[in-house]
Amino acid sequence: TALSNRHGKRHGKKSRSRCSKKPLHVNFKELGWDDWIIAPLGYEAYHCEGVCDFPLRSHLEPTNHAIIQTLMNSMDPYSTPPSCCVPTKLSPISILYTDSGNNVVYKQYEEMVVEQCGCR
C-alpha cells in the first residue's frame, strides 16, 4: 500500500521536491584555482537534489535496484532508505590552464556538467 494521497504527496510529511537538476555555479576563483585556470572563470555545473519516492517517473531512468529499493521504502520507510538522486548523464567542458611547467594547456574534461538526474 502506498502511503500517499491522490496527489502523490505523503500524509503528515513536509513535501520535498522530486529528484531534479538544480543550479550550481562553480567559481574557480572562489576555489582558489584561478592561479592555474586561465579560462573559463567559472561555469554552470548543476547538481541533483530531491527525493526519489514512489512512484518513480520514467524520466528519472531508475535502475531495477532503485525501483525495488523505492518500493520497499514506500512500504516501510524505517527499514529501507529511499534510492539516491544522482547525476545520470554528464557532459564535458573545455578548460585552458597552465601546467606545472607553466605551459598553456587546453583540455577537455569529461563529466563536469550535470545534464540529467535520476534515481539509483
Residues that bind another protein (CB under 8 A): 29-36, 38-41, 91-94, 96-112
- For 104-108, which contacts have Cβ atoms below 8 Å and span 24 or more sequence positions? 104/38
To another protein, the closest distance from the beta carbon of 7 in angstroms equals 35
Query: Cell 534515481 maps to which residue?
Result: 119
Closer to another protein at the Cβ: 1 or 100?
Answer: 100
To another protein, the closest distance from the beta carbon of 69 in angstroms equals 25
Measured CA to CA, the distance from residue 54 to residue 68 in angstroms comes to: 10
Closer to another protein at the Cβ: 12 or 32?
Answer: 32
To another protein, the closest distance from the beta carbon of 72 in angstroms equals 28
Closer to another protein at the Cβ: 8 or 30?
Answer: 30
DSSP 1: -
Closer to another protein at the Cβ: 15 or 91?
Answer: 91
Distances in whole angstroms, Cα of residue 3 to Cα of each of 12, 28, 73, 77, 119: 10, 44, 10, 10, 19
Query: Cell 502523490 maps to which residue?
Result: 8
Phi, psi of 56 (to 5 degrees): -75, 135
To another protein, the closest distance from the beta carbon of 82 in angstroms equals 21
